[in-house]
């Protein structure tokens, strides 16, 4: 739009007097052409919500209501749940509570769910590592709930939502967010390897329920590192929960790419407010930076120790 001479003069006068206010640039909810902007956007990670679902559902709802309320102002592009959505999978009312909390995000922020051991049918009656059925989870969160979304990529097995991948763009970067079921089998890991290999130009955000305990990989994490994570030059982040701990591992993959492996789980059977914390990851792709904050919307409180509030610098979003 052209500016008149009188308008230009007014701008100069207001500027000189310190009264000129420049409006913020408008943002959109998706990465349309030319929407790289300043490279800033946010991802929210939900650690194990099992005890909130069972005993303090107001905490889970406070989390998703906060995300929905801040989706535009913080440019929240995705929500990643680390698994153990419920505590007892054979109690239908727990799935009802979880579905009610997460439905707050529908149409506002896309989300992906990892299947934890507490989300599997064998929990409490058998061994989820060997008994892999997920009927209750798939009744509550079927593939069809996500398949119509613009970011949906696919699932394994094809008709179930046990493991899944979604595609989105943010900060001028194309992303692949991949969810792997608890202690993934060889066939599930092979599927994940194929998905990553089929999307070489997308940076990968992997979520699986059990991978590391603080700054140490567990047996599953070491197996996944060797069989998948280290092998892909586009692998960037791994998120996990399961262990009541918080920590991070940063190490190079086979191609020299640094992989940021972040673990967090705040569940407590006795301290209600511990179950209200989530992770806020503020990305700045232009600066190669990710600020990680741990926040409880219900308590309006942050955890500020070095394992829960830190900044990752020198992150390579381009290579």
Find the angle CA(80)-CA(67)-CA(250) to the nearest 5 degrees.
Answer: 40
The predicted pLDDT at position 165 comes to 98
For residues 88-113, give the mean pLDDT: 98
- 3-state secondary structure (DSSP) of residue 1: coil
pLDDT band at 25 (very low <50, low <70, confident <90, very high): very low
Query: For the segment 51-68, what is each residue's pLDDT rounded down to a tens digit?
Result: 999 999 999 999 999 999
Give me the phi and psi of 192, to 5 degrees please.
Answer: -60, -40
3-state helix, strand, coil in the chain (%, to 5): 30, 30, 45
The predicted pLDDT at position 38 comes to 87
Residues 164, 156: contact at Cβ < 8 Å?
A: yes
Check: CATH 3.60.21.10 for 37-183+195-313?
yes
Tokens of 298: 């219900």
For residues 128-156, give the mean pLDDT: 96
pLDDT reading at 17 higher than 90:
no
Q: Quote the mean pLDDT of the chain.
A: 90
Residues 6+ apart with CB under 8 A from 314: 258, 288
The predicted pLDDT at position 1 comes to 35
Count CB neighbours of 229 within 10 A.
25
For residues 19-40, give the mean pLDDT: 43
For residues 44-48, give the mean pLDDT: 98
Residues 210, 218: contact at Cβ < 8 Å?
A: yes
Residues 6+ apart with CB under 8 A from 319: 233, 257
Query: For the segment 259-306, what is each residue's pLDDT rounded down to a tens digit?
Result: 999 999 999 999 999 999 999 999 999 999 999 999 999 999 999 999
Query: For the segment 214-268, what is each residue's pLDDT rounded down to a tens digit?
Result: 999 999 999 999 999 999 999 999 999 999 999 999 999 999 999 999 999 999 9
DSSP for 75-117 reads TEEEEEE-S---S-TT-HHHHHHHHHHHGGGTTTS-EEEPPPG
The predicted pLDDT at position 32 comes to 28
pLDDT reading at 10 higher than 90:
no
Q: Which residue has the tokens 């792997």?
A: 180
| Measured distance CA(114)–CA(283) in Å, rounded | 22
Q: Which has the closest alpha carbon to 52: 293, 301, 274, 303?
A: 274
The predicted pLDDT at position 37 comes to 63
pLDDT reading at 137 higher than 90:
yes
User: Beta 111-113 vs 235-240: how paired, if at all?
Assistant: unpaired
Count CB neighbours of 9 within 10 A.
11
Residues 297, 66: contact at Cβ < 8 Å?
A: yes
The predicted pLDDT at position 16 comes to 34
Query: For the segment 56-99, what is each residue's pLDDT rounded down to a tens digit?
Result: 999 999 999 999 999 999 999 999 999 999 999 999 999 999 99
The predicted pLDDT at position 35 comes to 47
| More confident: 303 or 125 | 303
């Amino acid at each position: 739009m052209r500016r008149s001479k009188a308008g230009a003069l007014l701008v100069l006068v207001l500027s000189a007097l310190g009264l000129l206010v420049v409006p913020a640039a408008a943002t959109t909810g998706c990465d349309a052409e030319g929407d790289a902007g300043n490279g800033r956007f946010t991802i929210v990670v939900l650690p194990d919500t099992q005890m909130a679902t069972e005993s303090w559902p107001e905490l889970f709802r406070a989390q998703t209501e906060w995300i929905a309320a801040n989706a535009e102002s913080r440019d929240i592009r995705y929500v990643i749940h680390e698994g153990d959505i419920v505590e007892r999978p054979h109690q239908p009312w727990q799935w009802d509570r979880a579905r009610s909390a997460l439905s707050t995000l529908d149409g506002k922020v896309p989300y992906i769910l990892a299947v934890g051991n507490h989300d599997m049918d064998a929990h409490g009656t058998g061994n989820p590592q060997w008994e892999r059925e997920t009927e209750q989870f798939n009744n509550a969160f079927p593939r069809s709930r996500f398949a119509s979304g613009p970011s949906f990529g696919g699932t394994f097995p094809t008709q179930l939502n046990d493991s899944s991948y979604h595609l989105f763009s943010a900060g001028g970067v194309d992303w692949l967010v991949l969810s792997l079921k608890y202690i993934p089998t060889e066939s599930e890991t092979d599927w994940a390897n194929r998905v990553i290999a089929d999307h070489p130009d997308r940076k990968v955000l992997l979520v699986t329920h059990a991978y590391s305990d603080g700054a140490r990989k567990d047996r599953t994490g070491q197996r996944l590192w060797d069989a998948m994570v280290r092998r892909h030059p586009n692998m960037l982040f791994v998120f996990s929960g399961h262990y009541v701990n918080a920590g991070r591992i940063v190490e190079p993959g086979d191609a020299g790419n640094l992989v940021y492996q972040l673990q967090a789980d705040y569940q407590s059977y006795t301290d209600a407010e511990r179950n209200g914390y989530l992770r806020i990851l503020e990305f700045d792709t232009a600066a190669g930076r990710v600020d990680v904050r741990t926040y409880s919307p219900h308590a309006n409180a942050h955890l500020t120790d070095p394992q829960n509030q830190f900044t990752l610098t020198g992150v390579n979003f381009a290579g």
